[in-house]
């Protein structure tokens, strides 16, 4: 949702002048970063899994609550507009990295709850791409209200997933 919010903001900054090529480039960069970062987090989780196995449910809950809580707080942060050209390669790479930092924590969580990493990162990358592509063009028409609502919804979903993992483990339902 961070990447979608940035895509909407980028579209707002360009108005109707954003091309499909620019939107495709932004979506591809964001999708790639959003896929690679969880893979890195997954690898770190696999290395340290034995050390955290006794309290992995707390780690998963904590990471998801932290990432989701951050997204919820950011959703109330006000209307931000990107400065400069967000479609230049240097800016795109920086924005892709910045919007995917929290995906490292998601990757660690994937390793803890033992989801298949290959399928997970492909789905994350493709969904990010598919959501960001139209978001660039919708930005001028929809404004930041949609971006903030999407970020709020994404944060609430992450917190709910974390709470469910914790509940299942503590109740013995897992």
Instruction: Give the residue from 60, 70, 74, 71 showing the smallest Cα distance to 105.
Output: 60
Residue 120, pLDDT above cutoff 70: yes
Q: Determine the average pLDDT of the residues in 22-42.
A: 93
Residue 13, pLDDT above cutoff 80: no
pTM: 0.71
Residues 132 and 24: beta-carbon distance below 8 Å: no
Q: Where are the beta strands (DSSP E) in 65-106?
A: none
Q: What is the pLDDT of residue 38?
A: 92
Q: Which residue would you say has higher pLDDT here, 29 or 12?
A: 29
Q: What span, in angstroms and rounded, lies between the C-alpha atoms of 15 and 138?
A: 9
Which residue bears the tokens 């929290």?
102
């Amino acid at each position: 949702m961070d990447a979608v919010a940035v895509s909407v903001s980028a579209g707002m900054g360009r108005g109707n002048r954003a091309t499909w090529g620019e939107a495709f480039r932004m979506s591809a960069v964001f999708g790639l970063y959003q896929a690679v970062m969880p893979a890195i987090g997954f690898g770190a989780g696999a290395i340290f899994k034995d050390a955290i196995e006794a309290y992995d449910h707390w780690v998963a809950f904590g990471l998801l609550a932290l990432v989701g809580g951050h997204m919820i707080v950011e959703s109330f942060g006000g209307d931000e507009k990107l400065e400069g050209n967000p479609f230049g390669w240097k800016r795109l790479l920086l924005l892709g990295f910045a919007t995917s930092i929290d995906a490292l924590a998601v990757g660690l969580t994937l390793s803890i709850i033992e989801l298949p990493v290959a399928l997970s990162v492909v789905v994350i990358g493709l969904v990010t791409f598919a959501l960001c592509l139209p978001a660039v063009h919708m930005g001028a028409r929809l404004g930041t209200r949609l971006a903030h609502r999407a970020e709020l919804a994404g944060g609430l979903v992450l917190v709910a997933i974390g709470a469910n993992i914790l509940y299942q483990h503590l109740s013995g339902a897992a």
